[in-house]
Chain A
Amino acid sequence: MSPVLKTLCLGATPFVLAGCSGELSTLDPAGPRAANLALLWWVMFWGSVVLFALVMILFFLAYFRSALLARFTPAHWIIGGGLILPIPVLVLLTGTALVLGEQLLPHGQAPLRIGVEASRWEWRFTYPNGVNSAEEVVHIPAGQPVDFEISAADVIHSFWVPRLGGKIDAVPGHVNVIRLEADEPGTYWGQCAEYCGEGHDTMFFRVEAHPPEVFAAMMEDNAGE
C-alpha cells in the first residue's frame, strides 16, 4: 500500500468510528422507541456475528481438520445448513422485529400532537394552539409520548430524529403519524432522510425536550402572542 493511501485509510478510520455515536446516532438512543430500534440492531448484529463465526469455524475445519467433517454427507449439509439452521434464525429475527416494531406504532392518541410540514428545504412545526415554529426547532415535553403528524408541501421528504425513534416519509397530500419520546430534557437533531434536491443535506431540524412544566409554560406564553 502506498504511504499516501495508507495515511488516507488510517486518517479516515476515526470518521467511520465517529458514526457510532453523536447527534445523529441510532445506537445512542434517548427514548423508548429509539431504544427498541437500537435493541433490534444489536440483536441482528450479534446474530450475524455468531453466524459468521460459525461459518468461519466450519471453513477452517474444512481446511485444517477435514477428517472431522468427512463424515457429514452432502445431505447433512443441505438439511442442516439449508433448513435447520436458517429457519429458527429467521423466525427469531422476524419475531423480534414484529414485537419491537409493534411497540413503535402510535396506538390511540398521544396527549400532544404536533403538525410537521416539510418543504424544500425546511421544516415547519405547528403546535396544538396553532402557533408555528419558524426556526426549524420544535419543543416537546420530556418523558411523554408526542405524535408528529407529518406531511409535505412539494416532494417526498423523510422525518428522522435518530436518537428518538424511527423515520417516516413526509408525503404531499398525505399525513403520516410517528410517535416519539425523549427520556430526558435535551437537544436532539433531526435530518431529512429522503433525498429531495440540492438542499437536502442541510435540511436539519432540532427537537428540544424540556421538563413538562417548562414546556407547559412555554405553550402558555406562545398562545398569548
Chain B
Amino acid sequence: MTRQNNRALMLLIAGFTLWSGAFVLLYALQALGCAYGWGEWHRPILIVAYVVSLVPLAVLAWQRPNKTGEPQTSLSLSALWANRAAFVAGILVYLPVTFATACI
C-alpha cells in the first residue's frame, strides 16, 4: 500500500470515528448534567460541546485527502465525501442537544 493510499484510508475512517466519539461525549454530558444537577450551566455546556465537536469534523470535510500533485483515487474521493457526510450528519444529529429538554 502506498503512502498516499494509507493516508486516504485513515481519512476515510477518521470522520465517522470522530462523529461517534462526539456522539458519546454529548450523550454523556447530557446524562451527567442531569445526574449532578448542572442547572443553568447544562445547556451552555451542551451548546459549546456541540460547536467544539463540529470543529474537527469541519476540518476533515475541507481536508483534501490527496496532496497537491497527487492523482485523485477512488479511495481519496470516498474519504473526502465520507468526511463531508460525517460533518453534515454531525450538524443534524447533534442539533437537538441545543434545544431539546435534557432533564425531567
Contact = CB atoms under 8 A, between A and B. Distances in A.
Contacts of A91: 92
11 contacts: A91-B92, A98-B96, A98-B100, A102-B100, A102-B101, A105-B101, A105-B104, A106-B104, A107-B101, A107-B104, A177-B104
B-side interface mostly? loop
Contacts of A177: 104
Interface in A35-91: 91
Counting contact residues on chain B (CB < 8 A from A), the size range is under 10
Interface of B: 92, 96, 100-101, 104
Interface centre among B92, B96, B101, B104 (most CB of A within 10 A): B104
Question: Which bucket holds chain A's interface residue count?
Answer: under 10
Contacts of B92: 91
B74 to A, nearest CB: 14
A106 B104 CA distance: 7
B63 to A, nearest CB: 21
A98 B92 CA distance: 13
A102 B102 CA distance: 10
A30 B100 CA distance: 26
A125 B101 CA distance: 28
A98 B101 CA distance: 10
A27 B96 CA distance: 28
